[in-house]
């Protein structure tokens, strides 16, 4: 009897080929979907130019988050103080749409960018603003004891703020702000670095950091020496008390 040896091959049968093809196609589809998803996230988070005129508030003065070192309080204005409505409670912070109707001229105080995840009409997840070249920005300082007494009724108008006896009017010649706002950013944060000149010809330094809607650090310092200002630089010390 003649015995015929059957040679075993490694060639896959039709069923195995079909299974491997489906598995390979599934992996390719998953990878493609992942790439498209990442691309969609990147496209959704767009960096857009932003200025202080785009902000829905007048000044960095917010209920429970007033920047004070225990002795002095600092209030930075994103718009001229004369823009603030006379009956507006500044502790409410936001004033929409009224705040948009009055802006610094001829240029915004601050320019920079915002990162928007849900379009330019939604709050940015992050913004970074710095002083516009050639501009100065109003920063007011008052004794914390006076301001604390003035807000005891949970209300503060621009006229009441301007009338505080200790008011020091300043103009920032450097101002930088990084903001990760509440409700849009996962890690909320505000960081301000500013310095400039006071109306009495001294200088000031103002630093503040907020994280998770709480003050972490505030530093306010005034020089004891009157600084001579170059004649070519004219400071527009904004809106003195008599205007309110």
How high is the pLDDT of residue 137?
98
Burial (CB < 10 A; 0-12, 13-18, 19+), residue 30, is exposed
Model confidence over 106-136: pLDDT tens digits?
A: 999 999 998 877 665 666 668 899 999 999 9
- Dihedral of CA atoms 218, 75, 213, 131 in degrees, nearest 10, equals -90
Quote the mean pLDDT of the chain: 81
What number of other Cβ atoms are within 10 A of residue 224's Cβ?
Answer: 7
The alpha carbon of 132 is separated from its chain's Cα centroid by a whole number of angstroms, namely: 15
Before 97, cis peptide (omega within 30)? Answer: yes
- Write down the residue that tokens 């902000």 correspond to: 55
Model confidence over 56-66: pLDDT tens digits?
A: 999 999 999 99
What is the reported pTM?
0.75
What's the rounded mean pLDDT across residues 65-93? 97
Model confidence over 196-218: pLDDT tens digits?
A: 999 999 999 999 999 988 999 99
């Amino acid at each position: 009897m003649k015995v015929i040896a059957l040679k075993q091959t490694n060639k896959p049968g039709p069923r195995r080929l079909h299974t491997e093809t489906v598995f390979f196609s599934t992996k390719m589809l998953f990878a493609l979907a992942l790439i498209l998803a990442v691309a969609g996230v990147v496209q959704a988070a767009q960096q857009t130019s932003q200025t202080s005129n785009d902000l829905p508030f007048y000044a960095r003065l917010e209920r429970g988050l007033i920047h004070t070192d225990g002795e002095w309080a600092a209030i930075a204005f994103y718009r001229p103080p004369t823009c603030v409505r006379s009956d507006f409670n500044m502790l409410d912070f936001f004033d929409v749409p009224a705040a948009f109707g009055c802006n610094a001229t001829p240029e915004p105080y601050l320019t920079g960018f915002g990162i928007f995840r849900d379009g330019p009409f939604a709050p940015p997840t992050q913004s970074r603003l710095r002083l516009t070249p050639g501009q100065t920005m109003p920063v007011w300082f008052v004794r914390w004891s006076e301001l604390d007494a003035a807000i005891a009724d949970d209300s503060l108008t621009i006229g009441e703020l301007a009338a505080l006896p200790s008011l020091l009017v300043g103009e920032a010649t450097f101002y930088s702000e990084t903001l990760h706002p509440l409700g849009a950013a996962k890690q909320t944060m505000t960081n301000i670095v500013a310095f400039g000149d006071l109306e009495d010809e001294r200088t000031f330094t103002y630093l503040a950091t907020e994280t998770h809607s709480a003050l972490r650090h505030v530093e306010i310092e005034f020089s004891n020496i009157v600084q001579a200002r170059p004649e070519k630089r004219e400071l527009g010390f904004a809106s003195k008390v008599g205007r309110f």
